[in-house]
Structures are given as structure tokens and as C-alpha cells.
Structure 1
Amino acid sequence: MTPPAAHKTPAHQHPALAAADPELAALVGVEERLQADTLRLIPSENYVSSAVLEASGTVLQNKYSEGYPGRRYYEGQQNIDQVERLAVARAKALFGTDHANVQPYSGSPANLAVYLAFAEPGDTVMGMALPMGGHLTHGWGVSATGKWFRGVQYAVRQDTGLVDFDAVRELALKERPKLIFCGGTALPRTIDFAAFAEIARESGAVLVADIAHIAGLIAGGAHPSPVPHADVISTTTHKTLRGPRGAMLLAREEHAKAIDKAVFPGLQGGPHNQTTAAIAVALHEAAQPSFRDYAHAVVANAQALADALLARGFDLVSGGTDNHLVLMDLTPKDVPGKVAAKALDRAGIVVNYNTVPYDARKPFDPSGVRIGTPSLTSRGLGTEHMATVADWIDRGVRAAGSGDEDALQKIRGEVAELMAAFPAPGLPRA
């Protein structure tokens, strides 16, 4: 179905695409308008710069480059090698690591490479349970990592929403896993990498810090770094890092060969060179002083938003946030998370429904909603706007409960008006 003509992308913005495939160009235009007009609160999303977008669409797309710089299986790699070396050098400098591999296609393949490097099928691995805020690839049963390996999971305390390190230590010493993952997808508090490292040493495990959500905060000095503590660090390059959809593995020098061999030829063939270039650009941007300001502003905005939500009677997992993410339990509001998320979407507020620790509801119809501040901070919104955002969420949840569609449309108009005053990076101007 062709999108409405009013939302089609002007030919001057994507001229070749508009000429070759107007239907697809129109869909791009609709998405550009959606990203411009709505308040994007999904914590794993962001806006990349125009420079990152341009790098993602270069002629580097045309190259096959199996192998590593200086050790390729194809000729004609003189320039590609320099691009990848640049990305690697910038990653090592930004995070202060011995080794970096920028070839993983995304976060889940990057984590699979860690398994391939350090474990054998059937080995015991340990990670945070998915309903507690962990990730599928940390040994959860429905994931390949839970089917090919024996996954054991730790939890958070029901009374505080925080990791119980005594329980983690007890489980690790009992199970003796090959790998221990720390990090996840719905963790609103600072990760104590040092505590996890001590447990990993005691139990003889390799510690893997999955910092996909907080890589940008770490790069900007707004969250402690795992580099002094973890054997391996896995991260995506989008989310708070504001790069393309890719991933990296960072490691101590002693693990460099194992990691590289696991990525290629272990799991994948040629890297996506256009993505490698865009990663290099994003890492360069993250090394600038302005990015440190951004990272700290993300956290300040999240904490201001959390305070404003608490003032409006919302129940927040762990009582607040230390990072970019807020997890709301809507049980006291008597509105399911999925119902609230879909209503907020109609109001121009983009969130995702999410399980909360010890959720009584099913994962596809959970009690919670997960929100975050990376995208709105990229647009320039500050702490002075968070009370307004909290008010919209409050009104939207109440409208979801009562079925008041008129209230949702009123919020949508207010959202669009504020968004117009804060143009998003990388999007064409109206």
C-alpha cells in the first residue's frame, strides 16, 4: 500500500531512491516524519548524525573483505584495511582496551562469538534471567545460547530490584560456569563490575560485560567502565553510543586471538565495511568533549524524568535510575503494560512494554513499560522538559485505562509541537 502523498519524501532528499523506487522512498519519508514528530522513549533507540548516515551509505558497500587488515582473502583491500584499522584504533582509545574487533554484525552475534571463543556446547554459563532485566543471549532457554549451553540465571531482589551479590556468588560457586555475563536490557542501576569480577575469579569463570545499552554512557564518563574488571566486553554500536547498527568486542590482549578467530571464520564471513566506516565516525564523535556533555545529560534527564514520574504516583523498579533507563511497573495503575504502550504510541510517545522482576503477567502481555532518554537528549531536550514528558505519560496511561482516545490525540498534538522546536539530528528538515 502506498503511504499518503503528503508524507512522501521530496525527491531532492533521496533523488536516486525516489526515481528508482518511489514506493520505498515514500515509506522512508513516512518513517522520517514519524521520527521527527514523535517523542522516542525506547532506551535502545537513538538518532545518528548525518555523518554516520552518510558513512553507512558509501561505496564501501561494494566490497567483500573476509579476514582482517593485512590478512584478507580478497585483493583490492588497500583502503578497506585503513578504514577498519581506524575504527579499531578509535575503539581502543575511547574505551582504553588492549584489543577491539569491530566486525560483529550485531550484539547477539557478538555474544555468540564469546561463547565460541571460551566454551564448548553443554558447558554451564551464567547470566541474569531475562525477566529480571537480562538478555536472551545470556543463556536464556529460548535462545540458541540456552539450547546449546546449560544456562543458569541469577535474579534481583524482589524488595529492592537490585542484584543480590551474595546470591550470585553462591550460585557461581555451586555451578562453576565457564562464562558469567553481567549487563542486560532493563537494568536501571549502575553495574558493579568489580563485584562481578571478584565472583568470576573465585569461581574460575570468564567475566563478560555486556554494555550494549550503556556503552555511550561509559565512553562519556557517565557510568563506570568495565575495562579494569572484565575479561571481555561486548557492545552494540547504536543505542547510547549513537552509531550504526553494528557491534564490537573489546578484550584483554591475552584473549585477542580467541575473539578474532571466533568472529571470523568462526561465525561470519565478510564484514559490512560501510558499517565499519560508520562505527569509526561514531567513535570519533564520541571522543569529542560535547559527547561527554551528552552522556551526562542523558543520565540527568532520566533521573529528572524518574523523579517526575514518582511524584505522579508511578511505581519504578528499584525506585529510580542511575543511567538512561526507567522501568515502570503499572500494576498499581491497573493498566497492563501492553495496553499502555499502544495507547502512548497513539499519543506520539514511543515506548515498549516490558516485563518487570517477578511479573505475574505473561511476557507478551506484561505489567511494565520501559522508557529511556537517549533520543530526546540527542534532540536537545533538558531536565526542564522532563516534568512535561512525565505529565504526558501520566495522562496517556490514564487515557489508556479509560479508553479516552480524544485525550491521546490531544497529547499527540502537544508532542508534535514540542518536537518541532527540537529538530532531530540526521533527519531532513521539513
Structure 2
Amino acid sequence: MDYEHVRAVDPAVADALTAEVERQRETLEMIASENHVSPAVLEAQGSALTNKYAEGYPGERYYAGCEYADEVETLAIDRAKELWGAEHVNVQPHSGTQANMAVYFAMLEPGDKILSLDLTHGGHLSHGHPANFTGQLYEVEQYEVDPETGYLDYEGLDDLARAFDPDVVVSGYSAYPRQVDWERIQETAEAVDAYHLADMAHITGLVAAGVHPSPVGTADFVTGSTHKTIRAGRGGIVLTSDEHADAIDSAVFPGGQGGPLMHNVAGKAVGFKEALEPDFADYARQVVDNAKALGARLRENGLALVSGGTDTHLVLVDLRESHPDTTGGEAESALEDVGIILNKNTVPGETRSPFNPSGVRAGTPALTTRGFDEAASEEVADLIYRVVDNHDDVDVKAEVAEDVQALCADFPLYD
């Protein structure tokens, strides 16, 4: 990746792009929402489709010259239908949040009610946080995980739904490490005559590979990101039944956005094709196996995990018991110093500010893309613990940084 054309026009941007590739090569990416796409997806996303306006949908565009845009979008739609078994798919949302927006705009009026998981318990901004448009347009009530177990409190959710009488119940989470019982939440939604929106942004790839139960065919609407565990072009997706197809399509365009980012749709199409290959299921299983190995070793080292472990691609570490004087922000910063990139994160029952909370979240999708197995994931867990336990020790951090570089060399990226 030499960016020769960029360098000829704008050396400063070329330097930044080159440095970013090197940063990714020389660090261990463990932010649970990030991954490394293939060179094919990168090439598709940098294609000449970035030049093309294609407002509308295949066969019904508002501009001429869309025959190849139609071809690419149709491929993305057909492949998504095959991956997730959905009747109707819209691949145009620019992000998972805009996919959620499409569902809200299609089915709700301002002031309607949303019931969703609290952000500090693993929810997402677009599920109803006051700083997000959802919290500003709709009346929001939020449920929680069981504070003792860290698991979703389905009975509490059911009781709250009956008391609040929501119009939409939202499931799917950004920092919940356990499998979701979609059917149980669907029962709750049906009991109060609400729609069920399942946001599988983090687990799109796990669901596609069959290593996490699918909400498709159970929830009324399923949304997701296309660049996390699915490893496709950056953006969002909405899956629903034929019954709601027209409402969703109208909410995406013209309701929520104009021209789709056709170069991103091309990246989605290529990534979906890769996910349909047999080895993708092996990848997804390894993501989960690596996360379980990572979590088990962190626990052996004395770190507390929310819910005690994981069924998915991420672990959520609560530092309050083992390191009460260390914040998630301090841990994140110290780990970044040695080349381990993860994020500070709130934990259930959070007692600190969300800007410097009590936990850290770590994921294995990007490590697994590089070829990490359980043994390598356990080694990373040991390095994480050493830094958290000695986050002010310069010598320890220097030693860990060398170990990180050795792992990066053993599992190269974009060679």
C-alpha cells in the first residue's frame, strides 16, 4: 500500500495513510467493533463507484448511468439474503445507527416509546441515549442486566415492558458478551403489541456463520453493521419481511439519506461473497474460541469479567475488584503505549464517569483475521494483565511492547 497517486497530489495525507497501515500492522487491534478487511474489500471500497450517484434502488434510480451500480447492489442484496435468510434486505444505510434510524422512522412517530438496554449495561447510543437522536425524538425506558450475574434479566425486561407499554423493544448490544435469547424478547414484544428490533451490529458475522443464534425470522426487524465480525464494506444493513419492505426502503431513501455510498455497497458485496465461502465459518468459530480463551486466561490472572466469561467475540473486564485504583481509561492508555488497542468501557453498576469508567472491552475479530489461535490469545491475555497490573512501570511496559512486536511479526497483516 504505497498510495502513489495520493502522494503525488497530497504527501501529507499519503504520509498519514501509510502511517495508519503501519500502525495496524504493528499493533494488536482488540477493539471489539473493528476488524481488518481483505485487500479485495479495500479495493472495492476505493473503486470508481465513489463517483456515481444512484439515488433510488436497482431498476428505479433517479439518475441515468446506473446499470453497474444496479448490478453491484443487487449482488450485495442477494448475497445478504443468502447469508442471513432474510426475505428483504436494504444494503444502503451508511452505518448501523442509520439502519436503526430507518426502522424508527418507518414504524414510529416522534414521542413514541422505545424500550432498550441501558448504555452502561451494554446497550448502544442509537438505542435511546439522551445525546442521540433517539433520546431526543422518542420516549425511552431502559432495562438492565442482572447485577449479580451480568446476564440479561429477561423477567425484569418483561415486567418493565408491561409497565411501560413500548412501541418498539430493542435487543442486540455493543458490550454484552453472552448469547441473546431472541425468542424470549420476541415473546415480550408480542405481549405488549410492540415491534421487536434486533440490532446484531456486533455479531453479524457470527450469526451468518451459525455460531450465534439468528434473530432473522424471529424479530420484526434486524439491523447490523457490515464491517465488524462480517468483515465487509463499512456501513449498515436492514433485514426484514416482505410485509415491511416498502416502509423500510422509504425510510432509508428518501427518509434518512440521499444517494447511497455505492463504493461502500461494492465493499459489502465483496465481503458478503467472502463470507459465503466455507472457510468463513471456520473464521467465525475461531473468533469465539479465541475470545473464550482470552477471557479464561484473564480470569486465571485475577481479572473479573462481566458475566464471568463470553459466548461471543468480546470480553468485558470490570477492574473494580482486582484493581480498584485503576480506571478503564488508565488501562486503555497504558495498553495503547505497548501496542494493544482496546477501549475503556462502562460496566453494569458503573460508579465512575463514562469518559473514564471502570472497565475495558476487548474483542478478537481482528486478531483472528491475522491468524491468532487460542494459544496466541492466551499469550495476549497475559500481556494485558501484566500491563494492567503494572500500568505505571516503564520497564514492564517496554518488555511487553517487545512481546507485542514479536506477535505482530508472527501474524503479519497486509503483507
TM-score of the superposed pair, with normalisation by structure 2: 0.98
Are residues 1:381 and 2:372 paired? Answer: yes
Hey, what does 1:127 align to over in structure 2? 116
Hey, what does 2:54 align to over in structure 1? 65
- 1:57 and 1:360 map into 2 onto residues whose CA distance is 44
- Equivalent pairs counted in the alignment come to 413
Are residues 1:286 and 2:287 paired? Answer: no
For residue 387 of structure 2, give the secondary structure of its aligned residue in structure 1: helix
- 1:125 and 1:365 map into 2 onto residues whose CA distance is 28
Indicate conservation of the 8 Å contact 1:346/1:409, yes or no: no
- 1:203 and 1:238 map into 2 onto residues whose CA distance is 34
- 2:338 and 2:202 map into 1 onto residues whose CA distance is 26
- 1:119 and 1:313 map into 2 onto residues whose CA distance is 46
For residue 391 of structure 1, give the secondary structure of its aligned residue in structure 2: helix
Are residues 1:214 and 2:203 paired? Answer: yes
Hey, what does 2:82 align to over in structure 1? 93
CA deviation profile, 1:129-166 (whole Å, cap 9, x unmatched) = 10110011111222110111000100001100111111
Indicate conservation of the 8 Å contact 2:293/2:377, yes or no: yes
For residue 239 of structure 1, give the secondary structure of its aligned residue in structure 2: coil
For residue 244 of structure 1, give the secondary structure of its aligned residue in structure 2: coil
- 1:391 and 1:327 map into 2 onto residues whose CA distance is 16
For residue 407 of structure 1, give the secondary structure of its aligned residue in structure 2: helix
Which AA in structure 1 matches 2:19?
V
Hey, what does 1:409 align to over in structure 2? 398
- 1:317 and 1:19 map into 2 onto residues whose CA distance is 50
* Map 1:63-212 → 2, pairs under 5 A: 63-212=52-201
1:353 to 330, 334, 344: 344
Distance apart, 1:78 and its partner CA: 1.1
* Map 1:235-274 → 2, pairs under 5 A: 235-274=224-263
Which AA in structure 2 matches 1:222?
V
For residue 417 of structure 1, give the secondary structure of its aligned residue in structure 2: helix
Which AA in structure 2 matches 1:374?
P
Hey, what does 1:339 align to over in structure 2? 330
- 2:280 and 2:183 map into 1 onto residues whose CA distance is 26
Distance apart, 1:423 and its partner CA: 1.3
Hey, what does 1:394 align to over in structure 2? 385
CA deviation profile, 1:219-268 (whole Å, cap 9, x unmatched) = 11110100121111000100101012111000011010110000001011
- 1:283 and 1:396 map into 2 onto residues whose CA distance is 37
Aligned residues with identical type, % of pairs: 47
- 1:91 and 1:386 map into 2 onto residues whose CA distance is 30
- 1:75 and 1:348 map into 2 onto residues whose CA distance is 48
- 1:139 and 1:319 map into 2 onto residues whose CA distance is 27
Which AA in structure 2 matches 1:347?
V
Which AA in structure 2 matches 1:194?
E
Which AA in structure 2 matches 1:392?
L
Indicate conservation of the 8 Å contact 2:3/2:18, yes or no: no
Distance apart, 1:387 and its partner CA: 2.2
- 1:206 and 1:281 map into 2 onto residues whose CA distance is 32
- 1:39 and 1:220 map into 2 onto residues whose CA distance is 24
Runs of 4+ in 1 over 2 A off after TM superposition: none
Indicate conservation of the 8 Å contact 2:123/2:173, yes or no: yes
Which AA in structure 2 matches 1:289?
P
1:321 to 282, 289, 310: 310
Distance apart, 1:386 and its partner CA: 2.1
Hey, what does 1:3 align to over in structure 2? none
- 2:358 and 2:267 map into 1 onto residues whose CA distance is 37
Which AA in structure 2 matches 1:226?
P
- 1:264 and 1:102 map into 2 onto residues whose CA distance is 11
Which AA in structure 2 matches 1:284?
K
Distance apart, 1:173 and its partner CA: 1.2
Indicate conservation of the 8 Å contact 1:325/1:373, yes or no: yes
Indicate conservation of the 8 Å contact 2:150/2:306, yes or no: yes
- 2:38 and 2:356 map into 1 onto residues whose CA distance is 35
* CA RMSD across the alignment: 0.9
For residue 272 of structure 2, give the secondary structure of its aligned residue in structure 1: helix
For residue 412 of structure 2, give the secondary structure of its aligned residue in structure 1: coil
- 1:158 and 1:170 map into 2 onto residues whose CA distance is 17
- 1:204 and 1:189 map into 2 onto residues whose CA distance is 26
Which AA in structure 1 matches 2:320?
T
For residue 125 of structure 1, give the secondary structure of its aligned residue in structure 2: strand
Hey, what does 1:5 align to over in structure 2? none
- 1:208 and 1:23 map into 2 onto residues whose CA distance is 43
Indicate conservation of the 8 Å contact 1:42/1:351, yes or no: yes
Are residues 1:371 and 2:362 paired? Answer: yes
Hey, what does 1:55 align to over in structure 2? 44
CA deviation profile, 1:4-28 (whole Å, cap 9, x unmatched) = xxxxx7xxx2211111111111111
TM-score of the superposed pair, with normalisation by structure 1: 0.95
Which AA in structure 1 matches 2:185?
F
- 1:14 and 1:38 map into 2 onto residues whose CA distance is 21
- 1:239 and 1:152 map into 2 onto residues whose CA distance is 28
Distance apart, 1:364 and its partner CA: 0.5
